[in-house]
Amino acid sequence: MLYPIRFYLYNVAFFRKHPFKQSMKYQFILQWSASVINDYDSLIAIENFLIENLTEGNEVDGHDAGSDEMNIFIQTGDPDRTFLEVKTILNRNNSWGNVRIAYRKLTDNKYTILWPRELKHFNVV
């Protein structure tokens, strides 16, 4: 498909301004059982806390709730660094307990589990 030159120039200018967007190759997922987080507003509060505190190179990309789980999605180029940041941030507002964390390449459906270390299976429903 051919794109108009205007589309091309816009994207080139955007990525020059925001070079980290090009390197966001991973989806980082925070997951809680719906029984752990009190309500939907609590999930939004955690998401907003992450938005305010994550460094450049991480972009909170939304959330979902259902099927007895709640998820927050982050796009990143460095899932290990994101893990360390998220752990520090969530410990500050007492949201670390019972969280499950994994990531995957944006082009893949295979998850790499980061937390808890003994977790054997991770899935987003």
Residues 47-72 pLDDT 10s: 999 999 999 999 999 999 888 899 99
Q: Can you give the pTM of this predicted structure?
A: 0.80
Backbone angles phi, psi at 60, to 5 degrees: -65, 125
Instruction: In whole angstroms, give the CA distance from residue 73 to residue 119.
Output: 19
Ordered structural domains, the chain, with CATH: 23-115 (3.30.70.980)
DSSP letters spanning 108-123: --PPEEEESTT-----
Lookup result for tokens 């991770």: 122
Q: Are 34 and 12 in contact (CB under 8 A)?
A: no
Instruction: Go through the chain and tell me how many residues it has.
Output: 125
User: Does an H or E element contain 74, and which?
Assistant: strand 69-76
Tokens of 108: 């893949």
Residues 69-111 pLDDT 10s: 999 999 999 999 999 999 999 999 888 888 999 999 999 999 9
Q: Are 33 and 69 in contact (CB under 8 A)?
A: yes
Instruction: In whole angstroms, give the CA distance from residue 84 to residue 50.
Output: 13
